[in-house]
Structure 1
Amino acid sequence: MSKAMPVEANLTEGPIGKSLLLFAMPVLMGNVLQSLNGTINAIWVGKFLGESAFAAASNANNIMFFLLSLVFGVGMASTILIGQSVGARDEVQAKRVVGTSALFFLSMALLITMAGVGLSASILEWMQTPVDAMTYALGYLRIIFIGIPFMFFFNFIMMILRGAGDAKTPFYFLLLAVFLDIVLNPLFIFGLGPIPRMETAGAATATVIAQFVSLCGLLFYLYRKKHFLRLTGADRHYLRFDSQILGSLVKKGVPMGLQLMFVSTSAIAIVNLVNSFGSVATAAFGAAMQLSTYIQMPAMAIGSAVSTFAAQNIGAGKWDRVHKTTLLGILLNFMMTGMLVALIYVFNRQALQLFLQDEAAIAIGMNINHITLWAFILFGITFVLSGVVRSTGAVMIPLITTFLALWCIRVPLAYYLGRQYGLDALWWSFPIGFFAGILLSAGYYIWGNWKSASMLDKKKAIE
């Protein structure tokens, strides 16, 4: 057992329910902060620059979600490997994972930045971004692409820390990032003194600066506190592409990344369909999705928590705790997501008015919420089940399940309903797609062979 590995990183002992809730809450609050950041940006843009600018930001943010999904899988694979290593009390393996995955993240981020800056206009045209929103969207997206390396690496370090059992430190530095973004947004959007008026590009600039400063602060803190996963001069031999770990990150991470890509591309496909109904519909859908982002937060936080818990307990060989974690995760999702859904239903119009001024857009947004919000409880169950299953290294069936639920059911159904019966009908594709997802995920959890999977090739076990 490594003496440098703190006891508080261990999630393989003690009461599961209490520990799961305490671990999930900072993750949840971190998700809230990240979305609050986006929401405040949206309020500034929507209220002061108009529906066209808001539609532009919504389109650009969907592209950003797609880009994050490219590296999300590698981040999740790293988190699981870190969790299993900490559960097994193997600090050497944990550092090898950190070194390899850090290099991978930086390489991917730089490639995406170089390609994205040049292809921004083409991407937005492919999405059928409304003409009146194109200029706003282009300026916003190009700035975001420039900030990709900082954003990706900041998120990577936070995922690594959570895999090691630390959910509090990422929360504190997310709080710093959001505070900076809130302060800088109006300065760069409207201009002040030597700062020029940048409008939507200003919102992106504020976000990039805030992420960069928080990343620097987080790195300084980890080295100042001598965190057991930091890489020092003596650990520089870990900062390389370890063939075994890189193979696992690619083999396991790519399917997990593809799973999120299916989610993001399906969202882009729906936005593409909604764009054909005009800027008002796009703005309404963007506002409704801002609210649904908050609805999904408990499920995402609990899913992340159960994945970390399960990974550490799998590393320690404690399968009874893995199954208890699953059941408690589902129960927490019902309680937390259900309360948020009820709250939005009560204050539906008022919530949408935070983003929208046009009465037609508000009416469309209210209809979207009435039809779709309750179904996010089903989404939460699927997220918890997938989080536990993936923590073993079983990644292909969750990938196939996501593809079937989204691209074989939700997207085709949305296009059929939208084109046959109009805008109001296409929203029913959401609950139907969620229901299909939960049936497939629950079936695999109960009857599948996911428990026999592994993250690393056992024939090439790390010494």
Structure 2
Amino acid sequence: MAGPDPHSQEAPRQRDLTTGPIGPALLLFALPTLGSNVLQSLNGSINAIWVGRFLGEGALAATSNANIIMFLLFGAVFGFGMAATILVGQAWGAREVDAAKRAFGSALGLVLAASILVGALGWVFAPEILRALATPEAAFTPALDYLRVIFLGLPPSMLLVLMFMGLRGTGDSVTPLWFMGLSVLIDSTLNPVLILGLGPMPRLGIAGSALATLIANLAACAGLAGWMAWRRMPLHLTGAERRYLLPDPALVRTILGKGLPIGAQMLVLSTSALAMVGLVNRHGIDTVAAYGIVQQLWGYVQMPAMAVGAAVSAMAAQNIGARRWDRVARVTVAGLFYNGAITAAMVVLVLWLDETILGLFVGEGSAALPIAQHINRVATWGFILFGGTMVLFGTVRANGAVWGPLGILFLSMFPVRLGMAVALEPWLGGDSLWWSFPLGSAANVAMAAAYYLHGGWRRGALLVPEETGERSHADVEPGAAVRPAG
């Protein structure tokens, strides 16, 4: 049976993205997601300010190395959540609430198990990972302390992200905003307390920053679970539905089959970032610290692209599930327009105020500041192109197409970006590292556009009608019983 109507009063904040004007709906959905991204990046920046101001450039370089590793590990389990989000969105568009709950429950079980395993392995092998990155000796010990505590917090942080993604799949981008705010408030408040040992707390140094993040994610995760239960939100699992946490084989195959390639896309990004860190580390600790500062700034510049891309993916998935292919192309065009306008405005702002913003992270007269300004001026404009890729990938992933984006990312990150960084060094010196970013983004968006226009992504399927088993979203009637494809 189809389950409760998504439009009913029992589904607060959930939105039907398959009807009405596309532009306003996309913008209203993207803005809370953008707000969540702002808060998340602001939290990282505040933490970096505490670390840089109180513990110095060596500790800041340590967090830069450790955060790249965490992004790598995040990618190992992120794909499961993205696959589940697509399933939730398509099921919601088809008005199959029970199918959405099954996908959500299966993803929760898989991500919890995977994050516990990855966290345990990361704790054990953290020293070897840092050595493989050629982490500077001055930053090695603080990076190890920071990284090991972060590994402990991997399960709640992964579950929190997955819960946010699931809610967005049902059209709710507001609830994740509030609980991201809660996490940021706790984290940013506890950081100086635990770093400096204020009041009765022990002085933990850089490990205190990581412990603050762990506590904040635990609190937000528990709070969101309680809120979903209290508000009787559609994805909350009650009674016998809790068995969905033990995934059935069909959902496992679908989530793994689509989630692993999506996770591999994250791993491609992460490993290319790790390789870049290895190249940057060879230019000395001031350049490493400068690169870490600029990465904080880039987090903000990427936020509109990530928010609009997530909104496009959720909106496209619902329309695919509802057989509204006529709206999918219009969603993509609207996403490209909003990304270009908002990201370009962000780029102009951070270039205009770069000295003021970058100066927040280091003390006056720091040798890292002019290096960071130079990196910012050379490379930041390329994120306008990056945003176009996120929108195009958001649409094709909404129909379960994952191998095309994976191949495109691999080519643009390794042969193009890293290849250029190395090949141009005899002529550009260290600037070859920074110019490789916009050049790689240009190659990425060109290949993504070609795949969107001429690739076979429209033929894929994640949900098919149970009665016929035909592999076409055009056959999924709203309210019909559906099951995972493949």
Normalising by the smaller structure, the TM-score range is over 0.9
Secondary structure at the residue paired with 1:427?
A: helix
* Runs of 4+ with >4 A deviation: none
* Residues 464, 483 of structure 2: 8 Å contact kept: no
Counting only pairs closer than 5 Å after superposition, residues 21-32 of structure 1 correspond to structure 2 as: 21-32=27-38
Q: 1:381 aligns with which of 371, 378, 388?
A: 388
Q: Which one of 420, 442, 445 corresponds to residue 435 of structure 1? A: 442
Name the counterpart of 2:6: 5
Q: How many angstroms apart in 2 are the aligned matches of 1:159 and 1:217? A: 16
Work out whether residues 181 and 210 of structure 1, in 8 Å CA contact, stay in contact via their aligned partners in 2: yes
The answer for the alignment partner of 2:374 in structure 1 is 367
Question: What are the Cα deviations for residues 209-261 of structure 1, in whole angstroms up to 9, with x where unaligned?
Answer: 01101111101100011111111122133222211111111111111111111
Q: 2:469 matched to 1:462?
A: no
- The structural deviation recorded for 1:194 is 2.6
Q: How does 1:95-106 map to 2 (within 5 A)?
A: 95-106=101-112
Q: Report Cα offsets for 1:411-454 as digits up to 9, x if no partner.
A: 12112334664212321111110010011000011111111111
Contact 2:420 2:432 in 1 (8 A): no
Quick one: which amino acid aligns to residue 5 of structure 1?
P
For 1:393, the equivalent position in structure 2 comes to 400
SS in structure 2 at match of 1:32: helix
> CA offsets, 1:183-219, max 9 Å, x none?
1110000002331111110000001101101111101
Counterpart of 2:413 (choices 406, 413, 438) is 406
2:283 pairs with 1:277: yes
Structure (1/2) with the larger helix percentage: 1
Q: TM-score, normalised by structure 1?
A: 0.97
SS at match of 1:397: helix
Deviation, structure 1 residue 323: 0.5
The two structures, once aligned, show a CA RMSD in angstroms of 1.4
2: distance between equivalents of 1:196 and 1:17?
51
**Contact 2:305 2:390 (C-alpha < 8 Å) held by counterparts:** yes
CA distance in 2, matches of 1:5, 1:436: 41
Match of 1:88 in 2: 94
Partner of 1:20: 26
Contact 2:4/2:97, CA 8 A, preserved across alignment: no
Counterpart amino acid of residue 3 in structure 2: S
Deviations 1:348-382 (A, max 9, x none): 11111111235431111111111111110000001
Q: How far apart are the structure 1 equivalents of 2:405 and 2:87? A: 18
Superposed displacement of residue 457, structure 1: 6.4
Moved more, 174-183 or 234-243: 234-243
Q: 5+ unaligned residues in a row in structure 1: which ranges?
A: none
Alpha-carbon offset, residue 21 of structure 1:
0.5
What is the 5 A alignment of 1:174-189? 174-189=180-195
CA contact (8 A) 2:72 2:267 kept: yes
- Of the three residues 112, 119, 131, the one matched with 1:113 is 119
Normalised TM-score (structure 2): 0.93
Q: Aligned partner of 2:246: which letter?
A: R
Separation (CA, whole Å) in 1 of partners of 2:137 and 2:432: 25
Q: Counterpart of 2:431? A: 424
Aligned length: 463
* Contact 1:9/1:86 (<8 A) preserved: no
| Residue 52 (structure 1) aligns with | 58
How far 1:4 sits from its partner (Å)? 5.3
- Structure 1 position 95, deviation (Å): 1.4
Q: Counterparts in 2 of 1:141-220, with a 5 A limit?
A: 141-220=147-226
Task: String of CA shifts for 1:29-75, please: whole Å, max 9, x gaps.
Answer: 10111111100000011112111000000100001111111111111
- Cα distance in 1 for partners of 2:163, 2:21 equals 27
Q: Out of 123, 129, 133, which is 1:127 matched to?
A: 133
Aligned-residue identity in percent: 46
The answer as to 2:271 corresponding to 1:265 is yes
Give the Cα separation in 2 of the matches to 1:276 and 1:425: 14
The separation in 2 between residues aligned to 1:4 and 1:329, in whole angstroms, is: 28
